[in-house]
Structure 1
Amino acid sequence: MNTTTVTIARIYTLEGNDQLNKALDILRDEEKIFGVTIIRGIAGFGENREVHTSSLLTLSLELPLIIEFYDEPEKVAKAIKTLTSRLDLKHIVSWQATAYSDSAV
């Protein structure tokens, strides 16, 4: 089994704006990032403390979204720089991890 060091990044944003599709296009087409997953939250809040949630009474288009991606550390650093220079993304975290596979990333 092969191992490689990767960086995982998460971008916290809200549904209902145009950032998701633009971010996906950048990560897939320009930066050629190895893996990307979009996670839709059912509830959450940020620094303004406003709760964004989904219920039968309110069909909010502002549910929390997490754009998570990983690749070689240099590629992730470059992708974050590209994303933040083009999109209004303020909440990004990243950390190092080990990827285990039958082939290198």
Structure 2
Amino acid sequence: MNTRDITIARVYALEGHDYLDRVLDILRNEEKITGITVMRGIAGMGASGEIHTSSLLDLSLELPLIIEFYDEPLKVEKAIHELQLKLDLKHIVSWPATAHIHTIS
């Protein structure tokens, strides 16, 4: 098994704010990022203190979205810069990690 250093980043957004398609387009087509996953939260709270949640009584398009991606550290830093520049995203976190790559012999 081989390992390599990567950076993982998460973009926090809300559904219905038209970010998802634009973020995916930048990461996939412009920055050629290796791995991207989108997760929909069932509840979340931001700096405003307002809770966004899903319930049968209140089906909202304001559910939290997490767009997570990883690649080589320099590619991730460039992608974060482009996302902030083009979309003015304010909630992005990143951290170093190690990818464990299984090679077939």
Q: How many pairs are equivalent?
A: 103
Q: Is there any run of 5+ residues in structure 2 with no aligned partner, and where? A: none
Matches of 2:30 and 2:102, distance apart in 1 = 26
Aligned residue in 2 for 1:70: 70
- Which of structure 1's runs of 4+ aligned residues deviate more than 2 A? none
Matches of 2:58 and 2:102, distance apart in 1 = 46
How far is 1:102 from its partner?
Answer: 2.4
SS at match of 2:36: strand
Aligned residue in 2 for 1:50: 50
- Matched letter for residue 82 of structure 1: E
Q: Is there any run of 5+ residues in structure 1 with no aligned partner, and where? A: none
Aligned residue in 2 for 1:31: 31
Matches of 1:61 and 1:93, distance apart in 2 = 23
Matches of 1:79 and 1:88, distance apart in 2 = 13
How far is 1:70 from its partner?
Answer: 0.2
TM-score (norm 1): 0.96
SS at match of 1:96: strand
How far is 1:34 from its partner?
Answer: 0.2
For residues 10-49 of structure 1, the C-alpha deviation after alignment (integer angstroms, 9 at most, x for no partner) is 0111000111100000000000000000010000100000
TM-score (norm 2): 0.96
Identity percentage of aligned residues: 68
Matches of 2:18 and 2:58, distance apart in 1 = 21
